[in-house]
Every structure is written in structure tokens, then in C-alpha cells.
Structure 1
Amino acid sequence: MSQNSPTAPFSAAARPELTADPQRRLGVLLSHGFTGSPASMRPWAEYLAERGYGVEVPLLPGHGTSWQEMNTTGWADWHGAVEAAFTRLRADHDVVVVAGLSMGGALALRLAADHPDDVAAVVLVNPGINSTNKQLLALPVLKWLMPSMPAIGNDIKKPGGDEHGYERTPLKALASMLGGWRQVRADLAKVKAPVQVFRSVDDHVLDPSSVELITRHVPNASVTLLHDSFHVATIDNDAPRIYADSAEFIRSATGV
């Protein structure tokens, strides 16, 4: 896969001379969402890299290929990929911030709960850790009867937006994600870093229950409502606000 492909992983080295404190190098890990790709995070990553931060956007296993391949992967694989990226950033930077879109938000919270002393701040965009959709109750049986169902992809208000995701939702992978969500919900109280949440008022993928749980159980969480974007807000109309506000939040939270 070409590094110029929108679905390829993104990595940019920090430029310490551009940071607020050149003696403290800051790394940012951005995680894309379920069935998505780094294309949904690349403009944000480039914005942060231009401000002197080291940035990584890993391509999660099973993504960027086919939904059939994704059905052979699960939460442990996706968590392993962000854990490895976090370890690399932590080795090369003094301060690390984690961020994510949708399921990427759940993975970011998992890292923050597992590494409370090493995650300096968390930024979440329409994070997914819960759903009130009763149809999901049938998933433990349904995943053995049918491999996939139509996806709700490219939930983007801005014309022409494309997150380069799958047109089908792999059900075994979906069931695994829901299992990962349960683990994240159980450990929300372990998240000690300040958390900034961006939530789209009009989101056709996730209901508000995820953000409600985060604000209820994470004491340092604040929410910004987005009124001109759908689920994939990182490349939607509110994207410039997300980029600017998150950069200011990171600077305020870390001093870098």
C-alpha cells in the first residue's frame, strides 16, 4: 500500500522548535473508527504535525482491505495496534496525547485507563462505547448466520466527504467491538487525564449514550457540541473547529 494512499497509516516526526516548550517533545496518537481508515484522521494529523507535534495514525488490522478480512480480526488486534503505536510515541516523546473517532475513541480511552501516568490528555470525536440499539442483542446468534450487513458509512454532512470505509459491516468484528466496549465502560473511572469530547448533535451512527456515560464516569471530561457535522466530524463542516480547539486543549493540558 502506497504511503500516499488515503487509507495508509500516517506518521510525522515532531518538530520541537515549533512547540510551546522546545524542551518537551509531544506526541499525538490518532485512531480511526470501526470499518474506517486513516483518511478520516489525516487532515487533523497534518494540522497537528504542522504545529510541531509528532503524530501517528495507525491503520487498524482488518481495515483498508476488505470487510471479509476484517471479520477475521477483533478488539484484541485493534487494541494491540494502538498499544504498539502508543509505545513508540512514548519512547520518542516526553508527553503523549491520545485521540480517536468513534471506535477510535474507545481505543483511546482504553489506553488512558491502562496508562494513567503516561497519557497526558484525551480527545474524542463522537466516541463509541455504548449503544441503545436493541437489534444488537441478537448479534451473538446473528454473527453465525450471516457474515455482514449493510454499513452506515460516510455519515458526513459536507458534500464529497469520503472516509474510505467499508460498504458492509462484518458481524463477527462488530460483536468483538461490543465486547471491547464493555471493558472500556468498566474502567472509565481509571481515566485520570483531562478529556475533551466533541459530539455531533446529528449523528446517524451512534446515539448519545456513549458521551453520557463518559461525562458521568470520567471527572475531567468536557463536551463541545457540533451543529454542522454528522458522525465523521473529523472531515466534515466542523473539522476546522475540532482541529483548532483540540490543539488549544492539548496546549492547555500539557503546556506544550
Structure 2
Amino acid sequence: MSVITLGKRIFTWIITLIGCLVAVIFTIILVRGFDARRMPDLKIWHTTRLTPEFKASDMKPGFTFEDYLKLEDQLFENVKVSVDQRIAKEDQHILNRYFAGSICHPDRQEKNWNRTFELSPEHPKGGILLLHGLSDGPYSMRALAHIFYRQGYYALVPRLPGHGTIPSSLKGPTWKDWVAAADVAAHHVRAVIGPDAPLFLGGYSNGGLIAVYYALNSVNDESIIRPQKLFLFSPAIGITRFAAFSGWHRALSFIPYFQKIAWESIMPEYDPFKYNSFPKIAGHQLFQLARVTQKKIEQLKNDGKLERLPPIQTFSSVVDSTVLAPSLVTHLYNQLKPNGHELILFDVNRFSALEPFIKDRHEAFLNNLKGASALPYAWTLITNQTPDTLRVVAETHDAGSDAATAEPLNIEWPKGIYSLSHVAVPFSPEDPLYGDREDLKKKGYFVLGLVEPRGEKGVLQVPVDQLMRLRYNPFFSYMERRIAESL
């Protein structure tokens, strides 16, 4: 057989293999498309396109944070006109956040926390910019903002593009729009507190990832506001690899018959400050941001500049179904140089009676962390004092040391709670919507964190595991103390 003939055969095999692979992928997408058609019907808040929304391209010379807020004012006026006032008759019920007569409508709460807000002391010591997570809004930063405010700091919590309005709004923005909005807000914080006061940057989930990316860029770019410290809460440093395929739905979703495949979930919208429905393209943008952030970390590490990152203090649960907690260590913390960095982890409830019911997937992660020697950062584990008690202790490992100290805390696991969750970390038990507020529930208030439906499985449109998910942090007081100490 000649070399030319062999080459033709190899080329034919490759083309055939590629064709088979494409056919398999398209078949999978097609099956998913038909499967998606069984999802609930799309509502007006899934199909409406709202304007105007901020984009990175709006960042022209002279664009200010006040201009950003003007766009937000127009956007929320359009929510009322295009959605609230056009609700179908069957959707006009008390648990629909887009029905004006609903107990869940944002305007019927203490304040519409979907909007950008600020807390300004009379004489601020400094300032902090806090960035919320994907699919929620500024409300998730409410309790944290008050921590810094009580310590004398100006706190700004901007509504990031695509959030706080309707779920379909998450289909438009890119991660670059989120970063650009953070940049506009950071310059506003600096203008408020002056050129010399300390400026901090904080973020929850996707907001934490944005904060890290922003801080990494500030190392080499003097036009970017450089924070003096980062405060991260369940940051989305690592997400599941399946997120890489979250953009494949576009092969079918442009066809009206398959439009539901564009959605990861389509659920009732009963939460006034967080979307329950989630478009896949938003997850794809999160994946893209996580990828470019990792490349930026590697670049600065190779250039010997990663040590210029400001101190980072992070709070996270060891179990998290939204982000990969181990990646927080491998992709970020283990790459850092000593500079006052600290990682605080909330363990699962290790009460002996619960042990048979809890999976041990997180054990390898903790064992690797405990077995590591002289890490360049301090880390603390909030865990049971012993398996025979619900009381917890803070086990702290200092940076560069293998020794550990234990501080008993005057806190214990609440009855019936076996772990924290991704959505619980930034919320206080005193939160009127997500907290442990039996007092408000008894008075007839809508306390989402205490919803406990009972009935047969497979009946509810909302997954039971979502309703069971813990919505507040029982150890919030410890977190508040540690933040205050670091200031």
C-alpha cells in the first residue's frame, strides 16, 4: 500500500469519525430538545425582552455611576409596563412576584432590594463594593453591607446587568458586562471615600468570581481601582465541567418549537429577590468568566506577580451543589503567596446520630487540606467540638504552620440542620425573608426560609430539595466577628 493511499484512508477515517461524533452530539441535543418540551409553559417574564440594560459598550468617556442608575430607573419602569401590568389572569395569585397584589411582589417588601443601594455613614473610614451572585440581586448582600456600615465604612451594592427584573433578562448580558458594571461602581466608591481611604472589594458566588477577576486585572492595569482586601463568600472559582456544554442549546433554541431547551429550569417565581427560572446561557457566561480568571491566575503566577494580590478572606461551605468547593483551594488559594490570606470553611454537622445519613464526598477534600504542610494561607474549619455535641469549635491552622488551635464558640447547630448550603452563607438567621424567623411566621408574614411543604413526592413543580435547602447561615455571628476583626 502506497503512502498516498494510506494517507487517503486515514483522512477518510478521520472525516468519518468527525461525522459520527457530530451526529451523536446533534442527536443528544435533539433528544434534550424534545425532553425540554415537557417543561412548564413559558410565561411573560420568560419571553419579554427588557430595555435599556447596561452593557460594557456603554463605557464611553464621561459615563458615570449616575448614568448607570438612570438606565436602571428606566429598566424598572419598563418592568412595570411590560410585565407587571400584562400578567395573565391565571398568573394573578398571591405567590407570583410579578403580580402587584402578591405578597411576593418586590414593591410590597420593606424595600425593593432588587435595586442598587448604598449605606453611607457620616464620616466613612473607607468603602467596600459588594457584588451579588448569579440569578439573585443586591438583597443577598444586605446583611453583609450592614456589617461594614456598622464598622464605619461606606457600602455600595450595585445591581449587576440582567438581575433583579425578570429571568429572561439573564439571557442578554455577558461576563464582560458584569465586570464593566463592577468597574463603574468601584470608581464611584473611590470618588465617595476619597483618594486615600481604604477600599475593599467583596462578592458572593458569581460576584466573588467577578471580584477576583477584577483584582487580578488591577495588578497590571493602573486604570482599574486596586482593592486593599477581598472578602469572598462561596465564590464561584470552580464550577462543574458540564457548564462547558451550557451553550450548546443554541443549536436548537432559535427554533420556536424547541425554545424551552434554552432554559436550565422553568419554575414559579415566588421569590421577590431571586430568580427561580434559569437560562442556560447565563451559566455559560459564568463558565467563561471562571475560565478566563483561571488563565489570569496562571499568567500572573508565571510572571511572578501573583504576590501583588491583596489579602483575601473567604467564607465557604465544604459542601456546595452550585460551585466546587475543592477548586477554591486548588485553583486559587494554593496558588497564592503569603500575604495575610485566610480561608474559613463551614463543615457538615458531625453529630454522631447523623453520620449514617451523610455522604462522605467532601472527606477527601478536607483530608487533603488537613494533610498539607505549611500552607501559604491560614484556614479555619467550623465543626463540632465532638461527635456527641451540636456545639461547634473553630479549628484554625496558621499560615506556614502545621499546628492547629481550637476556639470553642458559643454557637451550636440548630435542630434539623445537617449542613450549610451555597445560598445560605451570606444570610443572617435574623433575615426577615430567608432567616429563622418563627416570630414573623406566627404573625402571618411570608418567611421563605421556613416554608415546609408536606405531601406526596413528584407532585410539586418546584423540586423538594430546593424548598429544603437551608437559606441562612447559623454561624453568621462568627462570620461578622471575623470580618470586623480583619477591618
TM-score clears 0.5? yes
More strand as a share of residues: 1
1:144/1:124 Cα in 2 relative to 1: closer, same or farther (>3 Å)? farther
Question: Contact 2:243–2:283 (CA<8 Å) still a contact in 1?
Answer: no
Shift of 1:238: 2.6
Counterpart of 2:345 in structure 1 is 225
Give structure 2 stretches of 5+ with no counterpart.
1-75, 77-106, 220-224, 253-260, 301-305, 348-418, 428-471
- Partner Cα distance (2:156, 2:288) in 1: 26
1:101/1:143 Cα in 2 relative to 1: closer, same or farther (>3 Å)? farther
Shift of 1:218: 2.5
Amino acid at match of 2:264: M
- Partner Cα distance (1:126, 1:8) in 2: 22
Amino acid at match of 1:231: H
Counterpart of 2:313 in structure 1 is 196
Matched, 1:164 2:273: yes
- Partner Cα distance (1:240, 1:231) in 2: 17
Shift of 1:144: 4.1
Counterpart of 1:234 in structure 2 is 426
Tell me the secondary structure at the aligned position of residue 185 of structure 2: helix
- Which stretch has the larger CA shift, 205-214 or 60-69? 205-214
Counterpart of 1:173 in structure 2 is 282
Aligned length: 233
Counterpart of 1:182 in structure 2 is 291
Shift of 1:58: 0.6
* Residue among 220, 228, 238 paired with 1:120: 228
Matched, 1:96 2:192: no
Question: Contact 2:317–2:325 (CA<8 Å) still a contact in 1?
Answer: no
Counterpart of 1:214 in structure 2 is 332
- Partner Cα distance (1:192, 1:64) in 2: 31
Post-superposition Cα deviations, 1:130-175, rounded to whole Å, max 9, x if no partner, equal 22x34323223124432211289xxxxxxxxx78221122112221
Amino acid at match of 1:98: L
Amino acid at match of 2:333: T
1:138/1:114 Cα in 2 relative to 1: closer, same or farther (>3 Å)? closer
Counterpart of 1:159 in structure 2 is none
Tell me the secondary structure at the aligned position of residue 129 of structure 2: strand
- Partner Cα distance (2:420, 2:226) in 1: 32
- Which stretch has the larger CA shift, 116-125 or 58-67? 116-125
Counterpart of 1:155 in structure 2 is none
Shift of 1:100: 0.6
* Residue among 150, 153, 171 paired with 1:71: 171
* Residue among 187, 212, 217 paired with 1:109: 212
Counterpart of 1:136 in structure 2 is 243
Question: Contact 1:147–1:171 (CA<8 Å) still a contact in 2?
Answer: yes
Question: Contact 1:37–1:163 (CA<8 Å) still a contact in 2?
Answer: no
- Which stretch has the larger CA shift, 109-118 or 42-51? 109-118
Tell me the secondary structure at the aligned position of residue 60 of structure 1: coil
* Residue among 151, 154, 158 paired with 1:54: 154
1:44/1:202 Cα in 2 relative to 1: closer, same or farther (>3 Å)? same
Question: Contact 1:95–1:118 (CA<8 Å) still a contact in 2?
Answer: no
Counterpart of 1:157 in structure 2 is none
Amino acid at match of 1:35: S
Choose 1 or 2 for highest CA Rg. Answer: 2
Question: Contact 1:39–1:163 (CA<8 Å) still a contact in 2?
Answer: no
- Partner Cα distance (1:85, 1:137) in 2: 29
Tell me the secondary structure at the aligned position of residue 247 of structure 2: helix
Amino acid at match of 1:114: N
Counterpart of 1:8 in structure 2 is 115
- Which stretch has the larger CA shift, 229-238 or 49-58? 229-238
Shift of 1:207: 1.7
Question: Contact 2:117–2:157 (CA<8 Å) still a contact in 1?
Answer: yes
Post-superposition Cα deviations, 1:100-127, rounded to whole Å, max 9, x if no partner, equal 1111111111221122472100011111
- Partner Cα distance (2:201, 2:251) in 1: 34
Give structure 1 stretches of 5+ with no counterpart.
20-24, 153-161, 252-256
- Partner Cα distance (1:50, 1:7) in 2: 22
Question: Contact 2:319–2:325 (CA<8 Å) still a contact in 1?
Answer: no
Question: Contact 2:204–2:235 (CA<8 Å) still a contact in 1?
Answer: yes
Q: Please show how residues 22-33 of structure 1 align to structure 2 within 5 Å.
A: 25-33=125-133
Post-superposition Cα deviations, 1:50-101, rounded to whole Å, max 9, x if no partner, equal 2210000111111011121110111011111111111111222221100111
1:95/1:136 Cα in 2 relative to 1: closer, same or farther (>3 Å)? same
- Which stretch has the larger CA shift, 51-60 or 174-183? 174-183
